[in-house]
Structure 1
Amino acid sequence: MTHLLAEAFRKAQDLPDYLQNELAEQLIEDIENEIQWQQTLSYPQGSKLEELASQALQNSEAGKTRAMGFDEL
C-alpha cells in the first residue's frame, strides 16, 4: 500500500461510520471500474478496426464511396 493511500485510510478512521461506509463504497466502485477498464484495454481491438479499414478501402477502390462533409447524409 502506498503512503498516500495509508494516510487516506488513517484520516477516514476519524470520520463517522456512515461516512466511512460511503467512502468505502465509492472506493470499491472506483477500483472495480479501474479493473474493468484495464481489462478492456488489454484485449486486442485491432482486428475489428483492421477489418473495417480494409472494407472501407475496398469500397473506395470499387467506386462505392463519395467525398462528403460531416453534416451531409
Structure 2
Amino acid sequence: MTNIDTVERLVSEMTPAELVEFRRWFAQFDASAWDREIEADAAAGRLDELAERALAAHSVGHTTKL
C-alpha cells in the first residue's frame, strides 16, 4: 500500500468534523507549500521574464484597472 492509498483510506474514514479540520489544515499546508515554491522561483529568477513582459504590456497601455 502506498502513502497515497493510506491517506485516501484514512480520509474516507474521517467523521464530518474531522474532515472539516483536515480541510483547514490541508489548505494551510498547501498554501505554505505554494508560497515556498513561488519564493524559490522568484529567488532563482524564474519569474523575471513574466514580470518584464507584464511591465512592458503595462507601459504601452495593454492593461486595465481592477
Q: TM-score, normalised by structure 1?
A: 0.49
RMSD, aligned CA:
1.7
Q: Which residue of 1 aligns with 2:11?
A: 12
Q: Please list every run of at least 4 consecutive aligned residues from structure 1 whose deviation after the TM superposition is greater than 2 angstroms.
A: none
Q: What secondary structure does 1:15 align onto?
A: coil
Unaligned runs of 5+ in 2: 45-66
| Residues 42-71 of structure 1: per-residue CA shift (max 9 Å, x gap) | 1137xxxxxxxxxxxxxxxxxxxxxxxxxx
Name which one, 1 or 2, has greater alpha-carbon Rg.
Answer: 1
Q: Which residue of 2 aligns with 1:33?
A: 32
Percent of aligned positions that are identical: 5
TM-score normalised by the chain length of structure 2: 0.54
| Partner Cα distance (1:6, 1:32) in 2 | 23
CA distance in 2, matches of 1:29, 1:6: 22
Partner of 2:47: none
1:37 counterpart letter in structure 2 = R
Q: Which has the higher helix share?
A: 2
Aligned to 1:23: 22
